[in-house]
Amino acid sequence: MSEPERRDLKFESIDEVIAEVDRLASGEVRTTGKHSFGKILNHLALSQDVATGRATAPPPPVFMRLMMPLMRRMIINAKPLKPGIKLPAKGEAFFWPDQEFDVPSTLTHFKESAEHFKNNGPLEVHPFFGKLTREENEQLTCRHAALHLSFVHPA
């Protein structure tokens, strides 16, 4: 089976992510991969909410809690993130709920979440990656957004 078509994206700041999301939301889009644009926006908003303590995700399994802090440098500094990380069932249900999300309301949630991140900062200890500086957390957020938005194409 061939890989879904993806765009090559790189963001240096959350403001760049917001600008790209606004650009995509202002017109027609198509997605490749498993998720709609609304689901992707919801996923990114929830991830930012968890990083800032506005939402609490189900705790990852012990092996993930032990491995993710060790892998954080590789994830933050490596080449573009690759898709396909399988979350445990509770995490999958939280971060990718089995429902559709309309873009206008999810865009509002995403922007509120991004503004909260920018104004209040992330938690000192990330729930999955452990202790991160604000800059590392923003870079992680940007790389995560680039991964998922790479599946969203202007029509």
Weakest mean pLDDT among 60-69, 76-85, 87-96: 76-85
Phi, psi of 131 (to 5 degrees): -70, 120
Q: Can you give the pTM of this predicted structure?
A: 0.89
98-115 pLDDT, tens digit per residue, is 999 999 999 999 999 999
d(CA 20, CA 108): 14
**Tokens, residue 1:** 């089976």
- Domain spans, the chain: 14-154
Separation of first and last alpha carbons in the chain: 24
User: 44, 11 in Cβ contact below 8 A?
Assistant: no
What would the pLDDT profile of 25-65 be if each residue is shown by its tens digit? 999 999 998 999 999 999 999 999 999 999 998 888 787 77
Spatial separation of the C-alpha atoms in residues 139 and 122, rounded to whole Å: 12
